[in-house]
Amino acid sequence: MIWPSDRRLALRLADLRATEVAFDVDQDLVARLRSLAIASSADPTLVKGRWKRRVGAAIGAVGVFGWAGAAAAGASVGLVSTGSLPDPIQNVVADVLEVVNIEVPRPVSSVEIVPEPVEEVPVEETPPAEPPVIEPTPTTVIEPDQPEEEPVDEPVEEPIAPPTTTLPEESDEGDLDAEESPGRSEEAPGQTGATPGQSGTTPGQSGNTPAQGAEPPGQTGNTPGQSGNTPGQSGSAPGQSGNNGNSNGQGNGNSDNAPGQSDNNGNGNSDNAPGQTDNNGNGNSDNAPGQTDNNGNGNSQGNPNPGTPPEQSNGNGNGNGQSNSQSGNNGNGRGVAADEVDVTPPEAAPATEDTPASPNRGNNGNRGGQSGR
Amino acid sequence: MADRVSVRALKRGEASEWSKFVGDIGPKIVGYAHRMGSRDPDEVMGATLEAVARRIGEFEGGAGDLRSFVFSIAHARIVDDLRRNTRRSEVSIENTLDLLEADEPNDETFSDPDLLAALERLPEEQHRMLELRYVVGLSTRETAKAIGKSEVATRVALSRAFAKLKDLLSEELRAESSEAEVAS
């Protein structure tokens, strides 16, 4: 779209054409241009015609007779090679071509059939091939230099039945019933015997020397697993029930016993505060104040301590218990429930062989653990 | 006009078609070469037509394409002529008078000196596009082909060149009016 002003400008530009000077057409120029145009336009056709002419000239140079002769020669050679010519002509052609070592088939009648002597070749009898003998290959027996020895479980020492002890009737726990009496390992739950043999192999030794422990009562500093190797050292202070745990116990006694609490720690490293009993089992019992924990592992042996006051009990609970329940009597020692203590033995727990029954009531760790309350 | 020229007849070398073609396109080439500053427009015209005749055999297209083809060749010849003239240090005495007469503005030759002056002030490409589009009368597509650009780019460049030409003319008008006021 050109606006009026633009349109005027466009018209002014178009008017410049008028300045173009018309000139007379020069015919010489036109002729020259015409010839140039013809030349430029005719070049492609000329090239094509040139090739056509060359091909035609080559064909014509051979001539009609030449092409005819070539065709005849080709046809005759073809017929001769197939033997299609008449017999005399075929013979002639074959003779001619034989000169130049070209073999062509001759007529059938002219071929002489000479029987060739057949040489008889003696046939050698070859022996029948024997079947291959397969020798049995010796089986090699590989004898190991060192026969693998199956690991033989070493017999575990049967826990020695603890000696029978009699608790004094004046003890706090002396009024226990026979059913609740600790130390009867056949009533203990079977779960506590999962690791038997480690903790109660030498039961009853720890309690043989009560009141000899150099550790002040009330301190628990038992390194887990190490304290049990020194049975008999942990003892109750005089006037205390020395329910020490478990010789050879390898349990983890991580009990922290507040004063006035009983704790059953692993393996006999419990330090009992005065007036408290400890049941040393195997376990990680953390007892809340006022609670007892019986982590007893079987193999309890009651060692009557003659020096024990009547109000104290000496229970050596050697249990294999692993439970850390609170207020529970775990392990083979079967904790004896005191006033508030619930005795909840695991269900369907068979008695373990490692924890033989202990006829002594007061020798059970559980028993001692509860007596401290 | 060139529309009536048959490209096929030109290829065949028909004399009548060539006479018509030269009579139609020749003056346009001369005027275009003259306005573009060529010193010898006739020579440019002759060289252009000769190049067209030599290459008409391989040309393919219609009459419009032939015009674009012709002016593209003409522009190349004009450029060659301008370069040759700039390099030429000597001018023969025989042609001196003709060159001087050709350079002088003539009322018969140049009817619109202001417009021609404004066109000369434009850049060469814009000047060339305006010449081909508005003076020679090529279409936008033909102009684009002649200058070797796309049609869209040529259209944009044409509008810009046209606007610039208007500005130049208006400036001249303002200058003339101010001179007239001063004189009065």
pLDDT tens profile A297-352: 444 444 444 444 444 444 444 444 333 334 334 434 333 333 443 444 444 444 44
This prediction has a pTM of 0.39
Would you state the pLDDT for residue A61? Answer: 84
Contact state of A16 with B15 under an 8 Å Cβ cutoff: no
Q: Which residue of B has its CA nearest to A42?
A: B57
Q: What is the pLDDT of residue B113?
A: 82
Query: Is position A329 within any domain?
Result: yes
Tell which wins on pLDDT, A245 or A128. A128
Would you tell me how many other CB atoms lie within 10 Å of the CB of residue A4? 7
Pair B53, B17 in one domain: yes
**A340 lies in some domain:** yes
pLDDT recorded at residue B48:
92
Q: Is the pLDDT of residue B49 over 50?
A: yes
B33 to chain A: closest CA residue: A20
Q: Would you say the C-alpha torsion A204, A206, A211, A212 has a positive or negative sign? A: positive
Question: What's residue A150's pLDDT?
Answer: 52
Mean pLDDT of chain A: 56
Range of the domain at A81: 66-104
Choice between A241 and A90, residue whose per-residue pLDDT is larger: A90
- A37 and B13 within 8 Å at the Cβ level: the answer is yes
Residues A100 and A213 in one domain: no
**Is the Cβ pair A37, B53 closer than 8 Å?**
yes
B105: nearest CA partner in chain A: A19
> What average pLDDT score do residues A245-273 get?
46
Q: Is the pLDDT of residue B157 over 90?
A: yes
Question: How big is the CA angle at A173 (ends A170 and A177), to the nearest 5 degrees?
Answer: 110
User: What is the C-alpha separation between B42 and B37, in angstroms, rounded?
Assistant: 12
Of residues A351 and B38, the one with the higher pLDDT is B38
| Chain A residues near residue B52 by CB distance under 8 angstroms | 33
Domain holding B155, by residue range, is 112-184
Residue A143 has pLDDT above 50, yes or no: yes
Pick from B71, B104, B137: which residue ends a domain? B104
pLDDT of residue A178: 40
Claim to verify: residue A233 and residue A344 sit in the same structural domain: yes
Q: Per-residue pLDDT for B15 more than 50?
A: yes
Q: Among residues B104, B129, B155, which one ends one of the domains?
A: B104
Residue A17 domain flag: no
Query: Do B92 and B122 sit in the same domain of this protein?
Result: no
Q: Which of A117-121, A194-198, A229-233 has the highest mean pLDDT?
A: A117-121
By the 8 A CB rule, do A365 and A300 touch? yes
The listed range with the strongest mean pLDDT (A88-102, A217-231, A349-363) is: A88-102
The verdict on a CB contact (< 8 Å) between B22 and A44 is no
Q: Does any domain span residue A138?
A: no
Q: Which of B77, B104, B131 is the last residue of a domain?
A: B104
Residues in chain A closer than 8 A to B1 (CB atoms): none
Among A11-25, B112-126, B136-150, name the one with the lowest average pLDDT. Answer: A11-25
Quick one: CA dihedral A206, A209, A213, A214, positive or negative? negative
Q: Are residues A323 and A196 in the same domain?
A: yes
Shared domain check, B180 and B133: yes
Instruction: Check: CB of residue A228 under 8 Å from CB of residue A200.
Output: no
Judge whether residue B28 has pLDDT over 50. yes
The pLDDT-based confidence of A63 (bands split at 50, 70, 90) is confident
Q: Do residues A188 and A335 share a domain? A: yes
Q: What is the pLDDT of residues B161-178, one digit of tens each?
A: 999 998 888 887 788 778
Express as a percent the part of chain A with pLDDT over 90. Answer: 1
Report which of residues B128 and A161 the model is more confident about: B128
Q: Is the pLDDT of residue A50 over 90?
A: no
**B69, B119: one domain:** no
A29–B22 CB contact, under 8 Å:
yes
Give the C-alpha distances (Å, rounded to integers) separating A203 from A18, A231, A313, A335, B92: 138, 9, 17, 17, 142
User: Domain of B65: which CATH number?
Assistant: 1.10.1740.10
**What pLDDT is recorded for position A21?**
65
Q: Same domain, yes or no, for A323 and A194?
A: yes
Looking at residue A17, its amino acid is: R
Mean pLDDT (whole number) for B135-161 = 91
Residue A112: inside a domain: no
| Both tokens assigned to B7 | 């490209």
Count of the separate structural domains present in chain B: 2
| Percent residues over pLDDT 70 in chain A | 24
Residue A309 falls within a domain, yes or no? yes
Q: How many domains does chain A have?
A: 2
